Amino acid sequence: MPSGTDGAPAPDPQGSGPAARRLPERVAAIVSAKDEEERLGATLQALAQISVVDLVVVVDDGSTDGTLRVANLAGVQTVKHQANMGKAQAMTSGAKVVALLEAEEGGTYQSDNPRALLFVDADLQESAVNLDFLCVPVVAGEADMAIATLPPQKTAGGGFGFVVRKAREGIAQLGGRTMVQPLSGMRCITREAFEAALPLATGWGVEVGLTVDVLRNKGRVVEVPVELHHRVTGRGPKAQAHRLKQYRDVARALKVRGRS
């Protein structure tokens, strides 16, 4: 399958995609975390209850609190970014750690059948146990990427929808699919589909870019309703500044993939 770039992925001339590959038997959870010491512990405890997940990697993306300490106490694998590098780099770092650990396993692991990758937000706490449902289509060979769709959140104060509309319209134009929650960060993906989409779109455009790249690489993408709960950004000045940055990054990810 052709390699993706942070531009328009090349079409697949053979018409083949990640669907033809061997089924992953295990899943590695990659948790990107910045200043999440209060919530990370509960999230990791929940992930430990998912039977198909046998490896957890926490990427501390420039935290200034006790995030790394919490991860170490939980006994999971960790990687530390000394400065905040953003979600795309955290996802990439986590995937590299998984690949290195699998290489070290040697004969105890089939190198031609790598783990699927489960990307997890650090603030899901107890609800992260429900990510078990997100892994099912990928492990069963029914999808190359499964994206979680979340229910209405317990904390009031969501956004106004303009970033979601931009993302949804762009994915529909470039990838031929209308996604329910195009910005959802909780995803389970085969290693081949992930590596074919590298390098990931930067900033807050990472999810949109990944969806477009997997679709254009002829990957099978499904959305799975999962009972997950995390912090809601809110509607104050700081939250709106965040959404403007998010809109900028989504627009950039779409532009380099062929949509202005």
Q: Which two tokens stand for residue 175?
A: 């990838």
pLDDT surpasses 90 at 97: yes
pLDDT surpasses 80 at 14: no
pLDDT surpasses 70 at 109: no
Q: Shortest CA distance to 119 belongs to which of 148, 154, 143?
A: 148
* Average pLDDT over every residue of 97-106: 91
Q: Which two tokens stand for residue 20?
A: 């033809």
Domain that holds residue 56: 24-256
Give 145-164 pLDDT, tens digit per residue.
999 999 987 655 555 589 99
How far is the CA of 80 from the CAs of 46, 83, 84, in angstroms? 22, 9, 10
How many domains in the chain?
1
pTM (2 d.p.): 0.86
- The reply to whether 148 falls in a domain is yes
What pLDDT score does 108 carry? 47
- The reply to whether 92 falls in a domain is yes
Give the angle subtended at the CA of 91 by the CAs of 199 and 230, to the nearest 5°.
Answer: 135
- The reply to whether 14 falls in a domain is no
Domain CATH code at residue 151: 3.90.550.10
What pLDDT score does 241 carry? 74
pLDDT surpasses 90 at 15: no
pLDDT surpasses 80 at 21: no
Q: Shortest CA distance to 56 belongs to which of 110, 94, 109?
A: 94
